[in-house]
Structure 1
Amino acid sequence: RSAMRPAAAADPEPVPKRPKRCPEARTLESQAFKDFIERLTNSTLDCDGGGKILRLKRFITSTAGPQVLNTVLEALKVNTKVEALYIQNFEEGFSDDQLVKLTEVLKLKRIWCLNVGENFRTTLTAWRTFAEELQHTAVSHMYASEHHFIGTDVKNQMKDAIRITRKANVIPHSLEVIMGCGNMWFNPKMPQWARDVKGGAAALAARQQAASSDSSMCALTGGVKGEPGGKGSGGG
């Protein structure tokens, strides 16, 4: 009689792999970020210029990823109050896709003052497209880093577009935004009547320089200082 063979052991059931946690989940799921997005969406965010100047690094860190920035840009599509946007120095999260989404926001013609400098993950190809689309926005004052533009006509193309828009006066410019924005290729000027009342051009320049110094702590993580906006640096 042949010996009975033991039954083969059943293969162990594979242990299901834990889904990878989105590296940006901590920010996206935080109550502080959700509150920020809600206030930005319904145009009640307490930021500079009576809610009209958004210096984004005062609300999220400079290490924010693409999903965080996408959420902000989607909220800006709905916001009806922000006229000036500082969205510079987001080296990890701002790439060509975010530049496309930013262009969509700008085409709504609510934002006329823009600082989009020091976002080094963007490509020359994306900036060429942005320069072509700029004429379809209300942007009349802006700054962008020039590291991609050396040896090209992209900067001149953008400056020509915003100059035409500036002369056309596409949308009204709030006085508090004019006073609170600096570090652009061309800083906004107050109308003559306002300059007479507020103390002249020198006082305006001092206010713009002070307003552009981004020294506040990031409100969401409580620990990232923005860089001071130096003269000609495009910071702010």
Structure 2
Amino acid sequence: MARLVAGIDLGGTKIATGLVDETGRVLERAVHPTRPEEGPAAVIARMIGSLEEVCGRRGLDLAALEAVAVACPGPLDPLRGVVVEAPNLRWREVDVVEPIREATGVPVYLENDANAAALGEWWAGAGQGTRHLIYVTVSTGIGGGIVIDGRIYGGAHWAAGEIGHTVAVVEDGPLCGCGRRGCLEAMASGTAIARRAVEALQAAGWREGDVPGESDARPGRR
């Protein structure tokens, strides 16, 4: 029987879970909304449910897995299995590993989502054949990962490559989820880009419900 692992990518918007064989082939996928406003326990329960879903499609129990890998926004501490602070989730000191280990009975590993993506690109994606790479991701937030000689470089406090909370606008920048103003994430993440687009449209006179190209569009509207 093939050795199978499961991977969970926990983001501020969605939980993406995959059942993967030892060659890296994704056998099953499941996607569910994160709904961080419901709190950590509800989100972790949803993560466990997604594992049951992908395994159940193959007629497997969770105990059939070799391991579970969880990719979370950070900063986090992979040795303790704890998300130290995730602004987009409003999480502080949340133990992710232990509840999933108790539910599955298999080893569970926690890694920063950008670090995991960086290693994935190095192993099977755009970074194949390289010794070192830097990976930047732009989604609900902004993250970065560093691979040196085929290994994730986490730094002294597991925060190497975390560029999202670098302050880009020193004065009067937008408020970031981390509590500071002017972070790169607050300026250029997918969420921030959508917010700034809405602000620009409102400043140009658009109203909620307006549709581009309507016959009654005001002069000068595009």
TM norm structure 2: 0.28
- Higher-RCO chain (CA-CA 8 Å, sequence separation at least 6): 1
Quick check: which has more Rg, 1 or 2? 1
Pick the structure with more strand per residue.
2
TM norm structure 1: 0.26
